[in-house]
């Protein structure tokens, strides 16, 4: 680490057990009432470590992903999405939807893609829904973006059968989806 300039935070990982008090510098994002998600951020050498405590919005997944250089991370915490500048330890933006099951960020369009029970929604951080599409009967999860293709698992019937789907993010249309 340079004495004059702090190295950017390059790493982030979910901590599954509450860290010991005083073990890390802590920053609170969202509410600390109820469920929380703990994420440890650090530079490549581990010299600049700190922990973010994120309020969980519902029953969706918890995950963290670097979405922009040098150190912008998206933390998904049970329906709440937090955009964090990890080196500055600051919240850039946030969005919460208690019905969300999963959230990913479309960096090219600078918006979120939110999986609700039956539909995908393209949402600005301010909450404005730009586009939505019903694609499932009862649940969507495991969203990921590879290039300009969104993929995930969608439940095709009330019996719980899940199938992988692929969705073109530029044309806003399904590329392939097995028949129900």
The CA angle 52-125-90, to the nearest 5 degrees, is: 30
Mark whether 21 and 60 lie in a shared domain. Answer: yes
Mark whether 79 and 109 lie in a shared domain. Answer: no
Mark whether 121 and 160 lie in a shared domain. Answer: yes
- Domain containing residue 56: 1-96
Q: What are the respective helix, strand and coil percentages of the chain, to the nearest 5? A: 0, 55, 45
For 5-20, the pLDDT digits (tens) are 678 888 999 998 877 7
Distance CA(17)–CA(20), nearest Å, equals 9
The per-residue DSSP string of 54-82 comes to: EE--SSS-EEEEEEETTTEEEEEETTEEE
Mark whether 48 and 111 lie in a shared domain. Answer: no
Mark whether 105 and 161 lie in a shared domain. Answer: yes
Domain count, the chain: 2
For 55-95, the pLDDT digits (tens) are 997 777 899 999 999 999 999 998 899 999 999 999 999 99
Mark whether 79 and 18 lie in a shared domain. Answer: yes
Distance CA(157)–CA(89), nearest Å, equals 43
Mark whether 143 and 174 lie in a shared domain. Answer: yes
For 88-128, the pLDDT digits (tens) are 999 999 999 988 999 999 989 989 999 998 999 999 988 89
Q: Quote the pLDDT of residue 1.
A: 41
Mark whether 107 and 46 lie in a shared domain. Answer: no
Mark whether 35 and 76 lie in a shared domain. Answer: yes
The CA angle 82-174-125, to the nearest 5 degrees, is: 20
Mark whether 112 and 57 lie in a shared domain. Answer: no
Mark whether 87 and 112 lie in a shared domain. Answer: no
For 139-176, the pLDDT digits (tens) are 899 999 999 999 999 998 777 889 999 999 999 888 87
Q: Quote the pLDDT of residue 5.
A: 63
Mark whether 63 and 132 lie in a shared domain. Answer: no
Q: Quote the pLDDT of residue 146.
A: 95
């Amino acid at each position: 680490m340079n004495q004059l300039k702090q190295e950017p935070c390059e790493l982030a990982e979910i901590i599954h057990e509450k860290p010991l008090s005083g073990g890390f510098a802590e920053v609170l994002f969202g509410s600390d009432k109820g469920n929380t998600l703990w994420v440890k951020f650090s530079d490549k050498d581990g010299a600049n470590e700190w922990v973010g405590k994120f309020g969980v919005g519902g029953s969706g997944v918890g995950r963290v992903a670097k979405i922009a250089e040098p150190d912008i991370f998206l933390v998904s915490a049970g329906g709440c999405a937090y955009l964090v500048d990890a080196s500055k330890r600051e919240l850039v933006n946030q969005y919460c939807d208690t019905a969300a099951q999963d959230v990913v960020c479309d960096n090219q369009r600078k918006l979120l893609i939110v999986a609700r029970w039956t539909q995908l929604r393209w949402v600005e951080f301010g909450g404005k829904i730009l586009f939505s599409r019903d694609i499932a009967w009862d649940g969507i999860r495991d969203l990921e973006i590879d290039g300009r293709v969104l993929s995930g698992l969608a439940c095709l019937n009330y019996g719980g059968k899940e199938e992988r789907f692929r969705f073109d993010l530029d044309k806003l249309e399904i590329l392939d989806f097995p028949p129900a």
